[in-house]
Amino acid sequence: MSSLSVAAAASTTADFSNDTWWIWLIKAVAIVVFLLTSVLIAIWFERKVVARMQVRPGPNVHGPFGLLQSLADAMKLLFKEDLTVKAADKLVYIVAPMIAVFCSLLTFAVIPFGPNVSMFGVDTPIQLTDFPVAVLYILACASVGVYGIVLGGWASGSTYPLLGAVRSTAQVISYELAMGLSLVSVFIMAGSMSTSEIVTSQTAVWWFLPLLPAFIIYVISMVGEVNRLPFDLPEAEGELVSGFMTEYSSMKFAWFFLAEYINMLNVSAVATTLFLGGWRAPWPISAINDGMFNEGWWPVLWFLAKLWLVMFVFVWIRGSALRFRYDQFMKIGWKVLIPAALAWVFAVGVVQGVRQFSGLDLRSVLFVLGGIVLVGLVISFLVPEKKTPAGPPRPPGPQVFDPYAGGYPVPPLPGQVLPPSPRKQRLAARATDDDATTTPQVAQEVHGG
């Protein structure tokens, strides 16, 4: 492990010198076909996994195992009536979903699927292109893609889409900052922002192990980045009907839907490339026959396996978590993720600086840091807890509960009762003051509610 920095510094980007225009065309078409096909599979995959979690069959009619259900849904959207809202800004209303889709298709241009292979007699990497700031290019594409959501909500000329667009603006600012900061530690360890060099730097160890806090921050941020549960505030069906997509139908709606699932594939591919070793085979498969499974077309299989593993995490979260309130959502982004990412970047920078100037081995540094954390945990268990003074005894019987005490209406817990309504209090007072003249109707209203 001590030679990780040297290996990363000595690595070079993928060699595209033998590529010709028709090789570029083949790679570009293959990426587009791969993304469109993967979206259909992802929709079916999500439905089947969530169905298993909820003990129901899921799609099982169209095609074997329901595999053609996604294709049937795509055909339905294709032939559905295309409506345009009268109050909409026509040009922006039509261009917005195009922006979302086109920006989502750009990310995979710099994602390495594998090493150099022979493609129709040409020695070329299984990657469309790469350059020294490839990860910044990915972040730029993600940032511009959000304009499709923002403009689509604004151009619809309706209230709920506008609210969804405003929420999307706040969301991208909050969670892209945390996402970018979580990737800085990878740049420090790999010594590069080139995707192929980052994969090369993970020959000895995948970065999610030494950079586990950054990986956790990235996973949380990527869920918020693609507007998925529990961070689907811009398209909250329960409160905004469908958010920024409310006034869209037919293929314009399908483009937004397509962009969401392609973006899920994009952030999963980035997590695979930067933290999970990219196309490299997992241990101990990587040690078989001097790494024969890291050569040729085998690495494409490992890359896809890791990609769909991260996609499963998306579906798992959707089937398990509830949507956050807006204040909770902003608190996590600004008060938890961003400070934690900044602190981790500072810690990684200090460790790398100490290693470079003192020549310490990375394993030794990690063991020292792990020992400090372990000692701190042991001490925290040994320190006796401060006993809180017992409060006054609870009065017998049910407690009167104020549902608006915290600012948000919540239902009472067992053993709690709601205070009487003002209407009942007025009726009770009237019955007390004028008990003799109370009509049967008022008495029934007081005692029967």
Question: Which one has a higher pLDDT value, 391 or 272?
Answer: 272
pLDDT in tens, 299-320: 899 999 999 999 999 899 888 8
Beta strand 399-400 pairing with 416-417? parallel
**240 CB contacts (<8 Å, ≥6 apart)?**
160, 161, 163, 164, 234, 246
Domain ranges of the chain: 77-370
Token pair 């005692």: residue: 447
- Its pTM surpasses 0.85: no
CB 106 within 8 A of CB 142: no
The span from the CA of 229 to the CA of 237, in Å, is: 11
Q: How confident is the model at residue 8 (pLDDT cuts 50, 70, 90)?
A: very low
> 3-class SS at 191?
coil
Question: Which one has a higher pLDDT value, 330 or 374?
Answer: 330
The whole-number average pLDDT for the span 373-388 is 68
The span from the CA of 12 to the CA of 9, in Å, is: 8
CA distances from residue 403 to 260, 309, 407 in whole angstroms, order as listed: 37, 42, 8
**Tokens found for residue 407:** 């600012």
The whole-number average pLDDT for the span 332-355 is 84
> 3-class SS at 78?
helix
pLDDT in tens, 243-259: 787 888 888 888 888 88
Distance between the two ends of the chain, CA-based, in angstroms? 74
CA distances from residue 300 to 120, 135, 149, 193, 295 in whole angstroms, order as listed: 17, 20, 32, 22, 10
The whole-number pLDDT of residue 84 equals: 79
Q: Which long-range contacts (CB under 8 A, 24 or more apart) does 141-146 make?
A: 141/103, 141/104, 141/106, 141/107, 142/103, 142/107, 142/176, 142/225, 142/263, 142/266, 143/172, 143/176, 144/99, 144/103, 145/99, 145/100, 145/103, 145/104, 145/259, 145/263, 146/172
Percentage above 90 pLDDT, the chain = 14
**Tokens found for residue 248:** 């869209």
The whole-number pLDDT of residue 7 equals: 40
Residue 44: count other Cβ atoms within 10 Å of its Cβ: 22
